[in-house]
């Protein structure tokens, strides 16, 4: 029998997703194809809870945990949980290839976290190099994998990975995703509280990028709709969504950044990718991907997921005047972050 805790986790994961089709019970290992998921940075603050959540996911048959150190312990710990996924831990660069081989989905939370006073761009010089080396290994050992980028600044690390894959001749724009799901979760949570609607019923698309003003929640498209929110309410909700990461960094007072909520968001998006790979229809999530819906080469919007990754990048839909203004305001900063990533990849 499955425990009440595990059932509650599965329910929460389904509620977190914006997709219209969810996993059906009863779960059994024979219900789904074998899928290997690799987590790069699995011993870190995001990586450990993310490893736990993916061990609980019946879509995962093989869970590969990699970090520069500490991963054998994390792997041993989560391997004792009586769920389908077989777990292996790999530590050190010499084991990276083995960790990646045969992966269907690779999730990258590796890198240093934000600290008080730091912006995501302050992380750039450290995390950019980490992402470049990991992307190089992905191109070599599992070039066909779907890649979920969590390492910040996502607005720059996704373009870095794209350039690495292009140089290696393995780039498939349908399989590279910046994980912006946490922005969506925050928008849903904050909207539900303010509009006084059940949070599990709420959906709010979030577009643009994954830092500060580049994060643009489209509350005019929120469901269920609310007529009780003023323009000032919408402005405040937008600001809080944009500053959600900073809110957590400051609350932790130098002890870390958003790790638990980010792990949950990463697990939701990974499950959406796995469902898409398995042919489940109508899987739609917001993500930062190569895009032509604006003049920018990468942009976050709703994306339909399928057997090859991105099936369709969906348009923005109707925007309020406030959202139109926000869209124009974010473009310069997002363009700069994208170009910064491309420049780093070309010069290093």
92-124: per-residue pLDDT in tens?
Answer: 999 999 999 999 999 999 998 777 777 666 789
Nearest to 64 by CA among 45, 81, 49, 79: 79
Pick 26 or 223 by higher pLDDT: 223
Separation in Å, CA 103 to CA 144, 159, 171, 179, 295: 8, 21, 16, 18, 33
Are the C-beta atoms of 327 and 215 separated by less than 8 Å? Answer: no
Structure tokens at 27: 């779960």
Statement: residue 25 has pLDDT above 60: no
Share of the chain above pLDDT 90, in %: 85
pLDDT band at 12 (very low <50, low <70, confident <90, very high): low
Q: How far is Cα 309 from Cα 155, in angstroms, rounded to an integer? A: 19
Nearest to 110 by CA among 141, 142, 67: 67
Q: How far is Cα 262 from Cα 264, in angstroms, rounded to an integer? A: 5
pTM of the model: 0.93
261-319 pLDDT, tens digit per residue, is 999 999 999 999 999 999 999 999 999 999 999 999 999 999 999 999 999 999 999 99
pLDDT score at 20:
39
What is the radius of gyration, based on Cα positions, of the chain? 19
Are the C-beta atoms of 49 and 259 separated by less than 8 Å? Answer: yes
- Specify binding-site residues for substrate: 114, 120, 152, 186
3-state class percentages of the chain: helix first, strand second, coil last, to nearest 5: 50, 15, 35
Mean pLDDT of the chain, nearest integer: 93
- Specify binding-site residues: 41-47, 67, 114, 120, 127, 150-152, 186, 262
- Specify binding-site residues for NAD(+): 41-47, 67, 127, 150-152, 262
**SS3 assignment, position 152:** coil
Statement: residue 21 has pLDDT above 60: no
Q: How far is Cα 217 from Cα 201, in angstroms, rounded to an integer? A: 17
Mean pLDDT along residues 170-197:
98
Place of tokens 């777990």: 87
Handedness of CA 186, 260, 159, 347 (dihedral sign): positive
206-216 pLDDT, tens digit per residue, is 999 999 999 99
Nearest to 146 by CA among 306, 260, 292: 306
148-167 pLDDT, tens digit per residue, is 999 999 999 999 999 999 99
Point out the residues that are catalytic. 210
Cite the beta strand spans of 296-338 per DSSP E.
298-306, 309-313
Statement: residue 341 has pLDDT above 90: yes
Task: Measure CA of the first residue to CA of the last residue in the chain; give whole Å.
Answer: 52
Phi, psi of 17 (to 5 degrees): -75, 150
pLDDT score at 26:
36
Q: How far is Cα 250 from Cα 184, in angstroms, rounded to an integer? A: 20
CB atoms within 10 A of CB 332: 11
Share of the chain above pLDDT 70, in %: 90
Q: How far is Cα 184 from Cα 74, in angstroms, rounded to an integer? A: 28
């Amino acid at each position: 029998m499955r425990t009440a805790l595990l059932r509650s986790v599965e329910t929460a994961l389904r509620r977190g997703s914006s997709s219209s089709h969810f996993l059906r019970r009863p779960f059994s290992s024979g219900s789904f194809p074998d899928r290997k998921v690799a987590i790069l940075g699995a011993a870190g603050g995001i990586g450990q809870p993310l490893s736990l959540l993916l061990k609980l996911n019946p879509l995962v048959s093989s869970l590969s945990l990699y970090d520069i150190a500490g991963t054998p312990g994390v792997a041993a710990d989560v391997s004792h949980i009586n769920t389908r996924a077989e777990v292996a831990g790999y530590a050190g660069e010499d084991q990276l290839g083995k960790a990646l081989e045969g992966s269907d989905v690779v999730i990258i939370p590796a890198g240093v976290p934000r600290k008080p006073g730091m912006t995501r761009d302050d992380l750039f010089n450290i995390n950019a190099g980490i992402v470049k080396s990991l992307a190089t290994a992905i191109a070599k050992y599992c070039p066909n994998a779907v890649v979920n980028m969590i390492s910040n600044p996502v607005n720059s690390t996704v373009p870095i990975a794209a350039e690495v894959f292009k140089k290696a001749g393995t780039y498939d724009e349908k399989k590279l995703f910046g994980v912006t799901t946490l922005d969506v979760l925050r928008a849903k949570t904050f909207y539900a509280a303010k509009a006084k609607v059940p949070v599990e019923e709420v959906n709010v698309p979030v577009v643009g990028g994954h830092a500060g003003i580049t994060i643009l929640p489209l509350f005019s498209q929120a469901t269920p709709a609310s007529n009780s929110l003023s323009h000032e309410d919408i402005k405040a909700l937008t600001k809080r969504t944009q500053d959600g990461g900073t809110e957590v960094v400051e609350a932790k007072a130098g002890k870390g950044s958003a790790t638990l909520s980010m792990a949950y968001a990463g697990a939701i998006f990974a499950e959406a990718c796995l469902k898409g790979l398995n042919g489940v229809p109508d899987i739609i999530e917001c993500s930062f991907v190569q895009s032509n819906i604006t003049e920018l080469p990468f942009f976050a919007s709703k994306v339909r997921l399928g057997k090859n990754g991105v099936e369709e990048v969906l348009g923005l839909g109707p925007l309020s005047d406030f959202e139109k203004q926000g869209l124009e305001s974010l473009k310069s900063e997002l363009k700069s972050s994208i170009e910064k990533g491309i420049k780093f990849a070309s010069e290093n």
